Amino acid sequence: MSTQFPSGSNIHREWYVLDAQDAVLGRVASQAAKILMGKHKPVYTPFLDTGDHVIIINAAKVKLTGRKEEQKLYRRHSGYPGGLTEIQARKMRATNPVRMVEWAVAGMLPKTKLGKQMFRKLKVYAGDQHPHQAQKPVPLAAGA
C-alpha cells in the first residue's frame, strides 16, 4: 500500500470569502493564512502550495484590540540612508486599510518563494464588494 502524494494536477482549489467587519485583525489574518497554506486540508504538504484562494472584504472595518490604534507602527524602508518611514495604525487605516490586512497575513506566511506564491492567492478589499462572484466563493465566518 502506498501513500498518496498531492501533485499540481490533482490539487483542487476553492475560493473563500472572509468578512473582516468587527473582527480582530490577527484572528482574521491567521485564519486566512491557514487557508492560503492549505493546513485545513488532509492533503497538506509543507513544501507544496495546496492552499485555496481567500477574499477578505471590509478590511477598513477590522478591529485592533487594546491601544494598538495609537501605538502600533508600520515600518518600511526605502533602502537609502535615513529612508525609514513609520506610520501609525490609525493613519494606515485611513489611507490604506488593504495594506494593513495584507501585511498581517503576509507576516504569517512562510518567508520563501512558496510563501510569495501563497500570498498571490489573497485578495483584500476595503469595502463589502468584490469582483470574484464568477468563482462562486464560499463565505466563512471570521474567527471560526
- The reply to whether 1 falls in a domain is no
User: Is the pTM above the cut of 0.85?
Assistant: yes
Mean pLDDT taken over the chain: 94
Average of per-residue pLDDT across 2-21: 89
Confidence check: pLDDT of 31 > 80: yes
Tell me the DSSP string of 77-111.
E-SSTT-EEEEEHHHHHHH-HHHHHHHHHHTTS-S
Residue 104 located in a structural domain: yes
Q: What is the pLDDT of residues 73-83, one digit of tens each?
A: 999 999 999 99
- Return phi, psi of residue 99, to 5°: -65, -35
> Does residue 8 form part of some domain?
no
Is 6 within a domain? no
Structural domain of residue 30, as residue ranges?
Answer: 14-140
Domain with 33 in it: what CATH number? 3.90.1180.10
Number of domains in the chain: 1
| 54 in a structural domain | yes
Residue 111 is assigned to a structural domain of this protein: yes
* Residue 134 forms part of a structural domain: yes
Q: What is the pLDDT of residues 97-108, one digit of tens each?
A: 999 999 999 999
Task: Flag whether 5 is in a domain.
Answer: no
Task: Give the single-character DSSP code of 9.
Answer: G
